[in-house]
């Protein structure tokens, strides 16, 4: 199977299989990664698949302490460490659409089964045997304070330091190129905190110039 993020949901996992499996490679080996379901084996029209995905809402319940997300058929797109903590959320998957889900959140339940004390292999077996839709419950981490958008609170001191790294002339202002670079750096830092993948900021230079023009008192 060519997709390193994929596994056939119907593939059986032998509970007594080789105990010497390198756990660090669990999510790099197509035969052991349950978080991505192989859609390549199904004959799906790409346009039809895109339409279905756009019309399918991801069920989610969120409070201050937990996130409850229900995943349907298709890629889930989240990786965990050995303690069940989220370490990565793949772009373009269902997990990316879970609002507020972040790196360091802890998986505490799958399909009404507590994952406390379970190994990755045991959690994998639950995911494979349970039908979709399947519900994951995450406990939200408290490593940093979240805003309503799920991102960290703004660190004014860090922003000030970052600003001056782009203000190479020490003028107290940025041109469009410097401002675009500043915005991209802030974006990359924000998504790194959440374990998500940075997106290309298309038109960043033009957007930066528009913002400068809108707020520059010297522009007549």
Does 170 lie in the same domain as 129?
no
Q: How many residues does the chain have?
A: 220
Does 176 lie in the same domain as 111?
no
**90, 108, 139 - which closes a domain:** 139
> Is 2 within a domain?
no
Does 173 lie in the same domain as 130?
no
Does 65 lie in the same domain as 35?
yes
> Is 88 within a domain?
yes
Q: What is the CATH number of the domain that holds 127?
A: 2.30.42.10
Q: How many domains does the chain have?
A: 2
CA pair distance 214, 209, nearest whole angstrom: 9
> Is 9 within a domain?
no
Does 133 lie in the same domain as 171?
no
- Tens of pLDDT along the chain (220 residues)? 434 333 333 333 344 444 433 333 333 333 344 444 333 333 333 344 443 444 456 789 888 899 999 999 998 999 999 889 999 999 999 999 999 999 999 999 999 999 999 998 999 899 999 999 999 999 999 988 777 766 667 778 888 888 899 998 899 889 988 988 988 888 888 788 889 988 777 787 787 788 778 876 654 4
100 is in which domain, residue-wise?
A: 23-139
Does 168 lie in the same domain as 133?
no
**pTM of the entire structure?**
0.63
Q: For 22-40, what is each residue's pLDDT tens digit?
A: 333 333 333 344 444 333 3
């Amino acid at each position: 199977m060519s997709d390193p993020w994929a596994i056939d949901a119907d593939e059986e996992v032998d509970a007594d299989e080789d105990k010497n499996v390198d756990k660090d490679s669990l999510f790099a080996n197509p035969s052991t990664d349950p978080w991505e379901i192989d859609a390549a084996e199904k004959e799906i029209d790409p346009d039809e698949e895109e339409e279905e995905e756009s019309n399918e809402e991801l069920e989610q319940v969120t409070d201050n302490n937990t996130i409850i997300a229900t995943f349907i058929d298709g890629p889930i797109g989240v990786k965990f460490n050995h303690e069940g903590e989220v370490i990565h959320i793949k772009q373009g998957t269902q997990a990316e659409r879970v609002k507020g889900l972040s790196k360091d959140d802890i998986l505490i339940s799958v399909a009404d089964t507590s994952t406390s004390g379970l190994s990755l292999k045991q959690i994998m077996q639950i995911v494979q045997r349970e039908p979709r839709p399947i519900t994951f419950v995450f406990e939200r981490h408290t490593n940093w304070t979240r805003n309503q958008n799920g991102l960290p609170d703004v660190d004014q001191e860090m922003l000030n330091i970052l600003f001056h790294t782009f203000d190479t002339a020490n003028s107290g202002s940025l041109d469009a190129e410097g401002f675009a670079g500043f915005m991209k750096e802030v974006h990359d830092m924000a998504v790194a905190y959440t374990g998500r993948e940075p997106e290309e900021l298309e038109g960043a230079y033009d957007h930066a110039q528009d913002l400068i023009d809108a707020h520059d008192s010297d522009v007549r």
